[in-house]
Amino acid sequence: MSTFRTSQNQANPNKLNNILSTLIVILILNVTIQIWLLYASLNNALENNREILIPAFIASLILFLIGFGWLYYLPSGNNKK
**CA 65/CA 28 separation, integer angstroms:** 14
pLDDT of residue 72: 76
> In terms of residue numbers, what domain contains 34?
28-74
pLDDT of residue 61: 93
pLDDT of residue 10: 65
pLDDT of residue 68: 87
How many structural domains does the chain have? Answer: 1
Please check whether residue 61 lies inside any domain of the structure: yes
Sign of the C-alpha dihedral computed for residues 36, 38, 44 and 49 taken in this order: positive
The residues, any chain, with a CB within 8 Å of residue 11's CB and separated by 6 or more, are: 19, 75
Helices (H) and strands (E) in the chain, counts: 3, 0
Please check whether residue 8 lies inside any domain of the structure: no
pLDDT of residue 4: 66
Please check whether residue 35 lies inside any domain of the structure: yes
pLDDT of residue 5: 65
Please check whether residue 60 lies inside any domain of the structure: yes
- pLDDT, tens digit (0-9, with 9 covering 90-100), for 8-65: 666 666 777 787 888 889 889 999 999 999 999 999 989 998 888 899 999 999 999 9
Q: What proportions of the chain, in percent to the nearest 5, are helix, strand and coil?
A: 80, 0, 20
Count CA atoms within 13 Å of residue 1 on its CB side. 1
